[in-house]
Amino acid sequence: MADIVPFPRAPRSTAPEPLWRHLLGDQLRRRRHDREETLTETADRAGVSPQYLSEVERGLKEPSSEMIAAIAGALDASLIELTSAVADELRTTAALASAAVSASRGAFALAA
């Protein structure tokens, strides 16, 4: 009887999925910069401290839905617009990671 030889497997992607709070922070910062506003200007309208907004933008805080809505409102964005933008980024990141894993596996074909 023949020996069973294990088929080599490509390593899975070791990069973890990005956290929601990091993508949210990036999106908020991008929108604030697009409006050419300072942290203080946006934070004042949102009713939060500039330090808190800075921590949210850097992904260090996990803001409540009320805080996200307040900051989104201060940036003239709806919660659905902001949430959709973050979800789109997450989809793009996941698709790129999936494509990278597929490319690293190469193509194998077995014939009987």
Q: What is the average pLDDT score of the chain?
A: 86
**What's the DSSP call for residue 48?**
S
What tens digit of pLDDT does each residue of 24-59 get?
999 999 999 999 999 999 999 999 999 999 999 999
**How much is the pLDDT for 5?**
73
pLDDT grade, residue 69 (50/70/90)?
very high
pTM value is 0.74
20-96: CATH, from 3.30.365.10, 3.40.50.300, 3.30.70.3000, 1.10.260.40: 1.10.260.40
Residues in Cβ contact with 68 at an 8 Å cutoff, skipping those fewer than 6 apart: 24, 79, 82
